Structure 1
């Protein structure tokens, strides 16, 4: 095989470097440089008003004695462990319904996908605060049936539940991916199973679920990572406080409070790196255990 070194190849190579330059600049200046800067700041005491002062591991040691840190960890894990499985189950259920050849399928897919595009936006968070407000739609519906209204967002027992419902409501993205996966399963498998007398549940359990496990795994990893980074919903609905009584104090919201309200940039950087490492570890565990339940068809 000969290597092309002519003038044409040289011009193409230069053109390629020119087109790659914006991406490389963005990678180094917008991503890599701030990442390394935050790693350095995580070992310092820095308040934006003075030069960073090296304090070693003090910021990480401080987390162990910080009750709000542990509360934020608890709230975030509860949010992820409850909302992600329900969201994926609901998305799969809708995908199974739409896979039956419903009329106007494109319209339904667009309508169901829309909340996923808007679910993390400020506008939807404000809408959600209105829906679950003291005079919101939920209380109005309950009042119609004679049920006493409650303050959903101001009650520590229900405030987090409203954010979980909001996350479940943004099921459109995993639903579209599930629907694409269902379309890839050969119909011959279902026809053969039906001839053998397999009912709907057995076809779902022994054909749909095994062949869909790679899609389930893909959605699971993405939704877990996204849920750990949830911020705008809790920030808007709680007014940035994480209340009531820190019941909606997501980890990212606590990080924001430390960095941009208390100006503890060193501590906030340490919090950010702990979040990064936690997501990396959880993702790695998901990949390690995937070999026990994900079926790729070549085993």
Structure 2
């Protein structure tokens, strides 16, 4: 016997009541307003995502439909020398850039958080590099780091130090890229400044009453309460580091020179997909990158319980 529910007109089946509630006028209106976004999500995200999974198991290129080859693309990747070089370069960049960006970002934000006249101007100056397009940024630093007439080596010569070849050296090419990337951390600094503004002054007053000095207040009050912001920038910085593309591609014209020392993972993925038209191979690379980023993000989230401190908890 169907389950009954009471209403103003008597008793109706519960399933029918739920159906009428789902298709009432307000729900239909809501779905109609959300329909453009849902359709766009399906067309531009869900469908390409599903297609890339299928293409990663095929020899698909932009010019030919290709054939289903199973796991051959993934097997070939593990025997691809350039693939492993690109992973090494990307991991090298992420391991050094992400911690340095947090250290320099927090330190710079602490300096810009001081009560000094004209601080708004200083904050603007440090934020301006983030507004420069990456292509223009790459051209600028190529001039600065030029081994023959660059400003950096010129200043080093003035103090008796012979500067390296920078972008022309296998040893210094990746440190040069890290230096360029650190120049544009103004956006992270703004987020840290917002985090500083969220720390109540009562904590500092209580620490001062207890006799804490500046060093103790920094390490026992400021940094612990700033860890949610550090956590956010750590996740976003890690994802961004593994997707490094524009700077090295612009500086090397897509060649990754010298000796592939600036061939990053996304650069090699792009070359396979749009230069060599190996779209199935590139799709397999994209899904490997997705798994790597998801795994690292999961590790960061799991370990965050030990070092991220939220106010009121």
Q: Same fold (TM over 0.5)?
A: yes
**Is 1:107 matched with 2:107?**
no
Quick one: which of 68, 73, 76 aligns to 1:62? Answer: 76
Quick one: which of 273, 280, 283 aligns to 1:266? Answer: 280
Mark the runs of 5 or more structure 1 residues left unpaired by the alignment: none
Task: Specify the SS of the correspondent of 2:263.
Answer: coil
Deviations 1:37-83 (A, max 9, x none): 11111001123222221000111111211111111111101100101
1:24–1:156 distance in 2 versus 1, CA, 3 Å: same
**Is 1:127 matched with 2:143?**
no
Deviates more, 1:16-25 or 1:47-56: 16-25
- The whole-number CA distance in structure 2 between the counterparts of 1:129 and 1:12 is 57
Alignment match, 2:177 = 163
> Structure 1 residue runs of 4+, over 4 Å off?
9-13, 16-19
Deviations 1:136-190 (A, max 9, x none): 2212222333443542111101011111011111111111111111111111211
**Is 1:98 matched with 2:141?**
no
1:230·1:252 contact (CA, 8 Å) conserved in 2? yes
Mark the runs of 5 or more structure 2 residues left unpaired by the alignment: 1-19
Alignment match, 2:216 = 202
TM-superposed CA distance for 1:117, in Å, is 3.4
- The whole-number CA distance in structure 2 between the counterparts of 1:44 and 1:75 is 27
TM-superposed CA distance for 1:194, in Å, is 1.4
- The whole-number CA distance in structure 2 between the counterparts of 1:50 and 1:158 is 41
Task: Specify the SS of the correspondent of 1:194.
Answer: helix
Alignment match, 1:173 = 187
Give TM-score, length-normalised by structure 1: 0.91
Alignment match, 1:71 = 85
Quick one: which of 31, 39, 64 aligns to 1:50? Answer: 64
Give TM-score, length-normalised by structure 2: 0.87
1:115·1:172 contact (CA, 8 Å) conserved in 2? yes
1:87·1:169 contact (CA, 8 Å) conserved in 2? no
Deviates more, 1:101-110 or 1:235-244: 101-110
1:255·1:271 contact (CA, 8 Å) conserved in 2? yes
